Structure formats: C-alpha cells, structure tokens
C-alpha cells in the first residue's frame, strides 16, 4: 500500500502531458465536435426565437382578420353591450364616477406635466448646483447730531433691485439661452431657479440649475443686467456705489428643493389614490363600463381583464419583426472549441491514470526499488504529412532513453547483465515480462541471443500469466531480468511478477523499459 501511494505521487508530469498531446488528432476532432455542437445549439436557439415571434405575429393577424378585434388586439364592444349586464342603479353610479374622475384628470395631468418640464423638479437636492452672487450698496449716508436732515435710501434700493431683476423679460432672456434644438425651456420655470435676499447693505442672489453650466448661463445673464438696473435706481433714488463682493459655486444639499419636489410627489400620489379609490368598490362589469365611458365613443375597444404576469414583458405584436435566423456564432463556436478541448484533455488524463498501465520508465524503480538497465524505443517512426509534429512532441517531452537505441546503448545493457551474472556466479538468467506484444518478445529474443554469445544460459517465454512453462523457467533460473513496455504492461501484473521473484528468492538484476 505504501508503494502504491508512492507511485501515485511520483507520476511524471511530462510523460502524462506527452500521452495527452500525442493524441492531438483526437483533441482536434473533439474541438471540432464541440464547436459544431455549440454552433448548432445557437442555431436552434435562434430558430426557436424566430418561430416564437412568427407565431405571435400570425396569431395577431388572425385576430385582425376575424373582425372581432381592433388594431391593438382588444375585443370590440359597444356601450349597450356593457349596459345590458348592469342595473340602472349601477349605470348611474358609473356615470357619476366618470364625471368625478374627469374632474381629477385635469389637476393630475397638469401636475405630471409640471414635474416633467420644471427644471427645479429635475435637480438633485442632495447635490444641488448653486451659484451665489453678493452685491454691496453704499449710499454714503451719514448722520450729523443733534439734527438729522437726511434720509437713508439703502433699504429702499435693496428692496427695489428684485422688482427690476425678476421680470418676464429677464426670464425670457434666460429661457432663450437655455433652450436648444432638442429641448425648449419655458420662461415660467426660470423664476423658480432664482431667489434674492438682503443682509444689512448686501443684496444676495441665489441661482440653481441642473448642472454647473446652466447655473453659469443664468448667473452671467443676471450680471449683464445689473449695471442697467443700478443705473435706473440711481435715477429714482440718490447716487450710490455698488460692488460685486463675491461669486461662489458649490454643490450641496438643499432642503428647500427637496421639500418642493416632495410636495409635488405627494400631490400627484394623492390624486392617483383618489382616482383609484373611485372604482375600487365597483364590480368587474361596472369597471369595464367605466373605462368604456372614458373613451367617449359609442363603439370602443376594451382590454378584457386578465391576470397580470409580472415576469412577462408587455409587447405590442404590431411592432414585432421576425428576427433573422443566424446559422453561425463566433462566440458560441469558440466556447465549443475550448470546451471540446477541455473535455478531451481531461478524458485522456483520467483514462491514462485509471487504466493501471505503466506510463513512466522510472515507476518500477520508484515502486519496487529495481535498478533500471535502460530504455529502448520500439515504436514505429511517425509517418505522414504531420510526422514532424509527432517527432517534435517526442523530442520535447519523451526523448529520454533515445541513446539506448544505438549499438553502444544496447551493448551497455548486455554488458551490465553479463557483469552482474559473473560477479554473483549466476549461470542461468530468465528474461521475464507481463506483456504479450510481439515487440516485447522480439527484444527478449535479441537479449537472449546476445547473452548466449557470452556463454550465458538464457531462458525466456510468454507472459507469466499466459503459460505455466514460463513459471517453470523462472523457478529453474538463478536471476531475473524484467522487460516491460510502457502503455502496455500493467503495474499490478508487474507487482505480481515482482512478488513471484521474491517468493522463490530470485534476485532481479534490473529491468529494461520499452517505449
């Protein structure tokens, strides 16, 4: 168990990677399958969406052709159709409610229009753009005691500035500058943006806007008019001096703007609740008749009551267009390619790890402590158009032991076995294997011929799992050489082979790995 755990920890990553990449043809096939599959799914999805839209349009057209529905797909009914389901009292109640409802519609529409058009309603009260301009007024007033023979006109001048500044001409001038080709700003909404105040002999002008740019336009217009206003006031009162003390811009919370916006929102909400409360106690037939009367037509279209589904969007069938069916999606194809590559990559790794075959030439040395005599490549040389790619993978990831495929390498293996046998006086050598491949038998035969040339008795046979004669040869031998082939020999069978040698006290000279 300990050896097995060590084997699992010491798997050679390069060997594993080579076994994945050498199946690059399979990887490419899986990528193509993944790309085609995902692109097919995209096509099915696109086709299904187009079919659904086409089905909706066909149903809508069938309703129009039947003459029972209007252009909006609603049922066509006349007022008598509604009245026949109601009593005279119910009809009278609905007529009274319609009159009351129409009375509220005017204020409601006006409030909605004001909220949508007013600049003040569109300012963010938490960070309201604000400009403050301050002018000081000096009339050079002085008092000579004990006799006072002059009047101080400072407050009169300060109070009169607002009357000359906040005029329809000023608001019209500002609205023209704020308007453009896309939007028109009514002058009635400009007055809400400008406020004035007095602090001793200082006149304060506060300007609001949706943006800093709007504030600057309003402020510049006011500053341009101030000299003319002061000139007129000098003609009405005494001569005085004026000074622009400060001009500051900031964005800060404005309680007044928030209160104004909240007031309009409450007003709109109250009207809405009132109108909804009018029909709350009506029956379904009365509600249908109520909505019919609001259209003010003898023949009207009414949307029949249905259960609303909050998860579905309200789509007008008359505006739908059948989308084109796309047969190719680059995004879906790329996702499919990478998913196919990933799945095949993982599949090859899992199969390689679970099939129990030897994938690393060093695994027997790691698991059983057997010395490695050499690595011999027996696989055929790659052929075909892409043989260069297979050779490159071998050179980069699986080139270990290539030197053994020379005469010097093979002679080194023979010499190593011969010296070990001479030093330990082993006369009979058995070459064992668990592989049934002809390549393995050929290498064992070659080893036996070369060793016999050195006056050694060498025996070999089929796998210990397939022939009892092989087990007899094993018992009659003095030492063992193991020959196994990667991706063919199973580690569990090699372990049994190793245990047999230990059971009969047969020393293992080493092993040769065939790749």
User: Following DSSP, what letter does each residue of 476-500 receive, concatenated?
Assistant: H-SEEEEEEETTTSBHHHHHHHHHH
User: By the 8 A CB rule, do 484 and 494 touch?
Assistant: yes
Per-residue model confidence as pLDDT tens digits over 470-492: 777 888 888 999 998 888 888 88
Asked if the model's pLDDT at residue 400 lies above 60, the reply is no
Residue 495 to residue 484: CA distance in whole angstroms = 12
User: How far apart are the C-alpha atoms of 173 and 217, rounded to whole Å?
Assistant: 10
> Are 288 and 82 within 8 A, CB to CB?
yes
Fold of 124-139+151-253: Alpha-Beta Plaits (3.30.70)
Predicted confidence (pLDDT) at residue 512 exceeds the cutoff of 50: yes
Would you say 455 and 498 are in contact if contact means Cβ atoms under 8 Å apart?
Answer: no
Compute the CA torsion angle 94, 97, 103, 106 (nearest 10 deg): -70
CB 11 within 8 A of CB 360: yes
**What does the pLDDT read at residue 147?**
53
Decide whether 124-139+151-253 matches 372-514 in CATH topology.
no
Cβ neighbours of 440 (radius 10 Å): 24
Q: Which CATH class is domain 372-514?
A: alpha beta
List the structure tokens of 203.
């006149």
pLDDT band at 327 (very low <50, low <70, confident <90, very high): confident
Residue spans of alpha helices (H) in 194-254: 212-236
- First-to-last CA distance in the chain? 27
What integer pLDDT is reported at residue 380 of this predicted model? 64
**Owner of token pair 């007003």:** 267
Categorize the per-residue pLDDT at 381 as very low, low, confident or very high, splitting at 50, 70 and 90: low
Backbone phi, then psi, for 222, in 5-degree steps?
-65, -45
Q: What is the pLDDT of residues 282-309, one digit of tens each?
A: 888 888 778 777 765 433 334 444 444 4
The pLDDT score that the predictor gives to residue 135 is: 92
Output the pLDDT for position 237: 83
Whole-angstrom distance, CA of residue 449 vs CA of residue 445: 6
Q: Tell me the domain boundaries of the chain.
A: 10-71+318-355, 124-139+151-253, 372-514
């Amino acid at each position: 168990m300990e050896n097995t755990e060590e084997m699992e920890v010491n798997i050679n990553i390069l060997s594993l990677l080579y076994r994945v990449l050498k199946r690059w043809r399979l990887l490419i096939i899986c990528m193509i399958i993944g790309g085609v599959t995902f692109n097919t799914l995209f096509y099915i999805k696109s086709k299904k969406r187009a079919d659904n839209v086409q089905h909706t349009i066909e149903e809508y057209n069938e309703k129009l052709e039947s003459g029972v529905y209007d252009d909006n797909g609603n049922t066509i009914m006349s007022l008598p159709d509604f009245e026949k389901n109601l009593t005279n009292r119910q009809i009278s109640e609905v007529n009274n409610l319609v009159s009351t409802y129409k009375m509220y519609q005017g204020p409601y529409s006006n409030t909605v229009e004001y909220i949508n058009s007013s600049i003040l309603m569109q300012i963010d009260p938490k960070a309201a753009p604000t400009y403050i301009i301050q002018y000081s007024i000096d009339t050079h007033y002085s008092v000579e005691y004990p006799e006072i023979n002059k009047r101080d006109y400072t407050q009169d001048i300060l109070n009169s500035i607002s009357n000359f500044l906040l005029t329809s001409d000023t608001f019209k001038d500002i609205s023209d500058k704020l308007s453009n080709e896309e939007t028109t700003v009514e002058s009635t909404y400009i007055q809400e943006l400008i406020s004035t105040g007095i602090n001793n002999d200082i006149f304060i002008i506060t300007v609001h806007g949706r943006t800093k740019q709007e504030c600057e336009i309003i402020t510049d217009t006011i500053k341009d008019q101030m000299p003319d206003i002061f000139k007129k006031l000098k003609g009405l009162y005494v001569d005085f001096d004026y000074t622009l003390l400060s001009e500051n811009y900031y964005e800060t919370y404005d309680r007044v703007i928030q209160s104004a916006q909240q007031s309009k929102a409450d007003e709109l909400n109250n009207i809405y609740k009132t109108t909804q409360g009018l029909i709350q106690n009506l029956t379904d037939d009365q509600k249908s008749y109520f909505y019919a009367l609001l259209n003010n037509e003898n023949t009207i279209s009414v949307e029949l009551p249905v259960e609303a589904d909050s998860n579905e969007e309200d789509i007008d069938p008359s505006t739908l267009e059948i989308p084109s069916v796309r047969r190719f999606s680059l995004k879906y194809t790329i996702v499919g390619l990478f998913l196919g590559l990933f799945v095949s990559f993982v599949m090859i790794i899992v199969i390689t790890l679970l099939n129990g075959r030897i994938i690393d030439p060093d695994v027997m040395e790691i698991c059983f402590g057997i010395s490695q005599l050499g690595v011999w490549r027996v696989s055929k040389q790659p052929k075909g158009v892409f043989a260069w790619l297979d050779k490159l993978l071998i050179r980069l990831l699986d080139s270990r032991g290539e030197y053994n495929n020379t005469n010097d390498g093979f002679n080194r293996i023979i010499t190593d076995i011969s010296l070990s046998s001479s030093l330990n006086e082993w006369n009979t050598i058995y070459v064992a294997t668990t592989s049934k491949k002809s390549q393995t038998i050929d290498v064992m035969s070659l080893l036996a011929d070369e060793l016999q040339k050195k006056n050694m008795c060498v025996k070999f046979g089929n796998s210990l799992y397939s022939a009892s004669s092989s087990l007899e040869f094993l018992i009659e031998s003095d030492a063992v050489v193991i020959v196994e082939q990667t991706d063919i020999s199973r580690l569990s069978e090699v372990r049994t082979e190793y245990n047999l040698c230990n059971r009969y006290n047969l020393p293992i000279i080493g092993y040769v790995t065939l790749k």
